[in-house]
Structure formats: structure tokens, C-alpha cells
Structure 1
Amino acid sequence: MKKIYYGLMLLLSGMFMITASCSDDDEDSGDKAAPGQISNVRFVPNYGGGYFLYDIPDDPDFLYVRADYTVDSGEKISKTSSTYTDTLFIEGFGQVKEYEVKLYSVDRNGNVSVPVVETITPMEANTNMVASTLKIRPGFSALIAEWTNELKQTVDVYVRLSDGEAVAEKVLSSNSKDGFFLVENLQNKDYTVSTYVKDQYGNVSGVQDCGTLKPLADAPLSKSSWTFLANQKLYGNRWNYDIDPNPDNQQPYDEYLEAFTKDSLRNAPPAAYEGRIEKFWDDVTYKMSPENYNIFNTGEWGYPYSYFIDLGRTVRGSRVRYWQRLSDKYGNENVQTFQLYISDDKDPTDGITDWEFVGTYKIIKPADSYEADQEAIAGHEFILYPKETKYTKPFRYLRFKAIKGFSERMVSVGSEITLYGLEGE
């Protein structure tokens, strides 16, 4: 019995030694060798930075290149390339002067090479370039800021304004190439305006004096006189009432049938399911708790389609605000793209003609989910003529034409529409 016990102890001891030996071998098996340096390094300057081109080392476990440098604020910055590229971008410099950049090769085991030290001179800061393109113009109850950011780097655009009594400053952070910023809820009076641009590295452009600007006046237009412009009224004496006693089966006289299509002078069904067209302008938007189903609904009509509205008096338009059905916002049966047309036909006897195209407007979902929710609740606002600040011509009749939905569904819905502008001629 003692011999068996002694033999078992020897066997276990041997197994422990083998296990320990294997463990030690595993710890020592990692590659500790630093990768080779990159070579043939070239630098191409750009605004506030630039990019390096290089040849990667002949190491099978090479992973990427890292650039370490310090910007004017004293902040230390690291930028890395992707694994399969020979280009490394750097940014954040605020002056046209020499800066030192250290370039390291890094392998898959985290080993780092001896740095290649480069002295570079970037072009002027990107904040200065953005600021040089920044323009401010009057909007409707607002000021409009527009700029170009060719590098699409994140910048903060500041608009400072004073009415002689108080000073306010608005800021928008953006990395869009074509920037657009509304300073809203302003009065129809003079404001002294200046602007500047800042980036995440602490670089700040000079302050630009934009002079004195005065927003144009506008306000939400009352919808109490709005009515649905049914097909019969849309065509006037060109409508054939005698073809069928049922109004749903009537149509224009034969010589006017060519225009009686979904893509032209014809209304989509005014009521379907829980929706009816009068809900489109009743000053009640869609609510979720409790759900009020305050929408129009075309039924299985498809795109494009139109609804024609008689405003009941003459107005001039400036902006439009549109609300989706919130239960499936940015999707399902909601409209994504629509157009507006206007007419001020003074004699509707032969139908409403002389329609003028105003613009095409597309609902774009913000990337931030909270912002997307808030915008859908507040309504999506569009300037009727976004490239210039002007009112429409005087008009009485409005055509809402839906071009495309968020999905391929044939059914289409919407909650509310509001026009902004001025009353009368």
C-alpha cells in the first residue's frame, strides 16, 4: 500500500513540473522585438495639418503607424493610421510654423519602433478657412449663417448679436461640408452681428464684424379659413357633373382629362381609415399619450399624390412646418419628400390654374436620437426659398404634393401643416 501511495505522489509531482514548465514557456513565447521604422516619409500640408505618406516596414506582424505631436494649446495628440494604408492624417495646428511629429510603427503584440522624427509646416488653421467663408444674412424672424468646411473637421461656429440692450451668443457644432445655422426667434429690428470659429484643439479664428442686420418679419398664418379644394372646385366649369350622379365617379370633360392624374391636378382621397384631410390643418398635431390619430390618410393611393387647399384669402409665404405621424416617425407610411405649389387665380370659374412651383422639401432624420425625437414633435421647418430671403408672391391656393415616403408603402399619412408669412398682398 505504501509503494502505491509513493508512486502516485511521484506521478503528481511530475505532472506539476510539466505543467509549470509549459506555463513558463507560454509566458516567454510573446514577440518582444520592436518593428522596423517606416521609410520614405513625405508630408503633404493642408489647413491646420496635412498627411504623411510612407513605406511600411517589412515586418509580417506590422499593424499601424502612430503620430504623436503637441498642438498650440499644449495638448498632446495621437493619431493612428489604419492597418492597410500608407497614409496618416494629422490635424489641430493653429499656426503656419514648424512643428515636430514623431512617427512610430506598432505591431500586433503592441511593440513600438524607434520614432521617425519629422518637422512639418502646416497651412493656416482650418478655423480660419471656415471663418473666411462664413456669411450671415437676414432670415424670417431669424439670421441665417452659412459656411464651407472642405475638410469636414468638427468646428464650433459662434454668432454674437446685440440689439443695443443685450448681447447674446449662439453656437453650433458641425462637421458638415456645407454648414447652415439658424439663429431663431428674433424680432424685426436691427442687430449688430459678429462671428468667429473655434475647434476642439483650442484654435480660434479672428472675430468677423458682419455689420447691422435686420430679420424679416413673419408669423404663423391662421388656418381658420382654410378649406379643402375638392376636384369639382379645382376644375370649375370644366367639371362634368352629368357623367354620374355619384361625385366619386365624376371627372372633368374629356378635353381636360389629361391633367386629371395623380401627378397633376387631382386630389388623393380626402378620407381613408381613421384619417381625413381636414385634420391636416386643424392646429392639432399627432399625440401619443393618449394616441389621437389626428392625421390625413390617403388609403392605398400611392405616390406621387396631391391635396389642394383654399386658404380663403391672399397671403405671402415665408416658411412651412410639417408634422409626421409620431407613432412611426421617420418610417412606415410617413411622407419624406414633398413639394409646394401656389396659385392666385382671381377667377376660379374655369378652375384654379396658373400654378407656380415653390420648392422641394425633404425630411432628414438627425443622427442623434433625442434630437430626432424633438424635431419630430416640434415639426420639421423649411424656409420656402432657402437660397435667398424672400416671400412668395401673393397667393390664395396651395398645392401640397407628396413625392416620396420613408418606405415603399402605398398608404401615406401626415399630421399637420403650418405656413408662416404675411397677410394680404
Structure 2
Amino acid sequence: MKKNLIYICVCFLLMAISCQEEGREDLISKSGEAPGVINNINITPTPGGGIVTYDVPDEDNFLYVKAVYEAPKGEIREAKSSKYANEIVLECFGDTEPHNVKLYSVGRNTKESEFVEKSFTPLEASIYNVAASLDINAVFGGIEVLYENNDEANVIIEVMVDTIGTAKEYVPYDKYYTKLNSGRWVLRGFESVETNFAITVSDPCGNTTETIKTTLTPLFEIEIPKDDFADLRLPNDSRSLRSKNPITHLWDGVINSNSNFWASDQNQDPMPKWISLDFGKKYKLSRLKLWFRGDGEYTDGNYPTDWEVYGSNDPNPDGSWDSWTYLHHFGEPYKPSGLPHKQRTQEDIDYARQGIDYEFIDIPDGYRYYRIKFNETTGKGAFIIITEMTYWGKEE
């Protein structure tokens, strides 16, 4: 009983202390003075902006520094820093003209000091360097846009297409958001006819470069129909892991699935292992797309990183390689971020879910039968998982 009484008293005491602390407020009267102005101000120009450094007032009332400036196109912007930093980042300037910045110190009582005005000239915004680096070329079924972004700035590359053919009426086609230091953006779905394209580079602030115009003829290709696809099944081909993961899942049209995929056997056949397909007709390949297992984009240990494609029009029934012609080698799948395996960004995931593009270079002939040889996977094991493979080219 005595122990219970002591316990109850301690609880009440703790509650009383807690209530006192919770109700305590250290307020500085709003009738106080504004903090003093900041001094020793320096602005270092950066691409499209600047970095302000300064000495802060040594006053209890001081809370933060505020910068007010105009950019872009008459828009008034503010940037702030806390009392624990002496740096403010200015951004969104789209030119290299002198600009004025007003700097205020703000107190805990919300009062602002007199402003100190400084002028600086930002460096050329990153979007202009990106635009100058653009290399636009025709590829199978579309165009590629190669770019360099040495500042790793957030930029938006937009492609517009002339739908009338007069080079005067352009409509938006697609946008590409990136901050990578270099990359390749491929747009597909175009007919093999002379087409006018227009491209701009912009930033999230609304600054935009002048329009770059070019006329290109995408290379001819069709998506190869899968209706006639079949498993050629030669004696030394890799077997499927189980009946629910048949090779037919590679062409059933189901993408980004985490259950509907082809999986090779895990232990019976060592690497390398291969599969042989019958396309039903003779085709010359231009490219293919490969889909990973859904939710495993760039993290799964079972997608191919070293593989080859062969063609034949008269494969030997015993599966020997003397009747197959080497066509192309493919390595690591392209990854926008360039991060190591198992690390990824949302941009990586979005890219993979559209299918990973692999292009054939200078394929001289068309073939009806194709063999895919897998040499290595991300996990270095003898197990491959692919959700879907789609091919483009032309009938021979």
C-alpha cells in the first residue's frame, strides 16, 4: 500500500512538471526593435543565379535573412536562410544582365531591418549550354536526342512536331525531365517520312531557350507481329523453371508483371544458356524491347547483363551452333541515373516500365529463327527472368 502511494505521488509530480514545461513560452515582445542589417555581403554568380554570403547580426532577436529579387520575367521571388546559416541561394535568372537583390534581416518579433541592396550578374543559365549540346538524329521509328548537362541542372527538353508539313505549325509531342550530366532520349512511333521537329530546353522557373528546328526522316520499321511466334525448342535449349513460367510469356503481351514472366531453370543448366524462337516469317531486326519483372526494375538479380542474338534460316535439329549466325551482343541495360545495381531513381523506374531499348547495328540479312544466348545476369547466377520481349524490323 505504501509503495502504491509513493508511485501515485511520483506520477502526480511528473505530471505537474510536464504541465508547467508545456505551458512555458519564451516570447520576445513584438514591440521590440528590428534586428540590425547584415553586413560583409558577397554574391558569387552561378549558372542562372548566385550564392549570397554575409555576416549576421549578433543579436538575440535575430531569426533569419530574406532575399527579395525579380526573376524571371518580372516575377518577385523570395529566398530565406535560418539564423544557423550565412548563405542564401538565388535562382531562376534566365539572362546575364545585372540584377538587384534586397536583403533583410528578420527578427523573432517578425520585424524586418532596413534592406541592403546589392547588384550582381548571374552566369549563363544551364539550359543554354544544354541546348547548345543537343545532337538530334534519325533512328528506327523515330529520333534520338543526345544531350550534355554539365551543371546537372534540372532541365526540361520538349519535342514538338509539325503535323501539317509546312514547318510553321508545331504541336507538343513529349517532354523529358532530367538532371543527369548527359543522356540519350529516344522518341518512337513515327512513320518513315520527312518530318519537321522543333526542340526547346527550359527550367522549372519558366526560362526557355530559342527553338531548335530540324528535319529528319525516321528509319523504316514495323513492330513484328507475335501471332506466329513459337518455341523452336531444340535439344540443348534452356528449360523453363516451372509450368507457370513458360517461354510463351515472352510474347503474350503482358508487361511489367511480377507473376506473368518467363523464368529459366535455376540449377539444371549452367551458364551460358539459350532459347530458340520461331518468328513464323523471315524478318530483319532493327531493335527490341525487354521488360523486367514488375517491381524489380534495376533491383532484380536475374535480368541479363551480357547476352547475344543469333539468326538462322535452317537451324540444325540437334541444336548445334554451326547453323547459327552471330548478329549482336548486348550488355548492361541502359539506366538513366547511372547508379549501381539495386539503387534506382523514379526516372529509372519510369524508363524501365516503358521497356528497355536495344538496337541492332548493321544487320545484313533477315532470318526466321532467332536464338538468344545469355552469358551473365546481375546476380551472376544461372537464373534468368524476363517479362516480355518485343521486336521491330521489316519483313524480308
TM-score normalised per structure 2: 0.71
Structure 1 residues 130, 384: CA separation in 2 closer, same or farther (over 3 Å shift)? same
Give 2:333's aligned residue: 362
Query: For residues 323 and 152 of structure 1, do their structure 2 counterparts lie closer, same or farther at Cα, with a shift above 3 Å needed?
Result: same
| 1:380 to 2:352 alignment | no
Q: Is the 8 A contact 1:148 1:179 kept in 2?
A: yes
Residue 288 of structure 2 aligns with which residue? 320
Contact 1:140/1:318 (<8 A) preserved: yes
Distance 2:122 2:292 in 1: 48
- Residue by residue, what CA displacement relative to the aligned partner does 1:179-224 show, whole Å, maximum 9, x if unpaired? 54333311100012222223333322222232x2000111222442
Aligned to 1:217: 220
What's the counterpart of residue 172 of structure 2?
A: 169
Q: For residues 191 and 109 of structure 1, what CA distance do their matches in structure 2 show? A: 62
User: Which letter does structure 2 place at the counterpart of 1:217?
Assistant: F
Whether 1:184 and 2:154 are equivalent positions in the alignment is no
Alignment partner of 1:272: what SS?
coil
Alignment partners' CA distance in 2, 1:99 and 1:112: 22
Aligned position for 1:264: none
In 2, distance between residues paired with 1:52 and 1:159?
36
CA distance in 1, matches of 2:108, 2:235: 71
Q: CA deviation at 1:138?
A: 0.9
**Mapping for residues 412-423 of structure 1, pairs under 5 Å:** 412-423=384-395
**Equivalent-residue separation in structure 2 for 1:336 and 1:33 (angstroms):** 66
Q: How does 1:23-422 map to 2 (within 5 A)?
A: 27=27, 34-35=34-35, 37-58=37-58, 65-81=65-81, 86-105=86-105, 112-162=112-162, 164-165=164-165, 167-177=170-180, 178-210=182-214, 212-223=215-226, 224-228=228-232, 230=234, 232=236, 269-285=238-254, 293=260, 295-299=262-266, 306-311=273-278, 315-326=283-294, 328-330=295-297, 335-344=302-311, 351-352=321-322, 355=326, 357-362=328-333, 367=346, 372=350, 376=353, 379-384=354-359, 390-394=361-365, 396=367, 397-401=370-374, 403-404=376-377, 412-422=384-394
- Alpha-carbon distance in structure 1 between the residues aligned to 2:60 and 2:26: 21
- Pairs within 5 Å for 1:1-40: 27=27, 34-35=34-35, 37-40=37-40
- 76-85 or 122-131, which moves further after superposition? 76-85
Question: How far apart, CA to CA, are the structure 2 residues paired with 1:151 and 1:303?
Answer: 45
Contact kept, 8 Å, 2:97 with 2:121, in 1: the verdict is yes
Contact 2:256 2:291 in 1 (8 A): no
Distance 1:338 1:217 in 2: 28
Alignment match, 1:247: none
Q: Distance in 1 between matches of 2:291 and 2:382?
A: 19
> For residues 137 and 393 of structure 1, what CA distance do their matches in structure 2 show?
21
For residues 128 and 346 of structure 2, the distance between their equivalents in structure 1, rounded to whole angstroms, comes to 27
Structure 2: how far apart are the matches of 1:60 and 1:112?
Answer: 14
Q: Is the 8 A contact 1:67 1:80 kept in 2?
A: yes
Which deviates further from its counterpart, 58-67 or 46-55? Answer: 58-67
- In structure 2, how many angstroms separate the alpha carbons of the residues matched to 1:274 and 1:33? 80
Letter in 1 for 2:123: M
Query: What's the CA shift string for 1:216-253, capped at 9, x where partnerless?
Result: 11122244255345463xxxxxxxxxxxxxxxxxxxxx
* Letter aligned with residue 308 of structure 2: Y
Residue 346 of structure 2 aligns with an amino acid whose one-letter code is: A
CA shift in 2, pair 1:27/1:122, >3 Å: closer
RMSD: 4.4
For structure 2, the residue ranges without an aligned partner over 5 or more in a row are: 1-22, 336-343
The gaps in structure 1 that reach 5 residues or longer are 1-22, 233-266
Structure 2 equivalent of residue 257 of structure 1: none
Higher helix share: 1
CA distance in 1, matches of 2:47, 2:35: 32
Residues of 1 paired with 2:363 and 2:119: CA distance? 57
Q: Give distance in 2, aligned partners of 1:286 and 1:174.
A: 24
Count of paired positions: 357
Summarize deviations over 1:356-375 as a string: whole Å, max 9, x none: 55322437566279x84x96
Tell me the alpha carbon deviations over residues 47-79 of structure 1, each in whole angstroms, 9 at most, x when there is no partner. Answer: 322323444554578665432211142211123
C-alpha distance in 1 between matches for 2:28 and 2:352 = 58
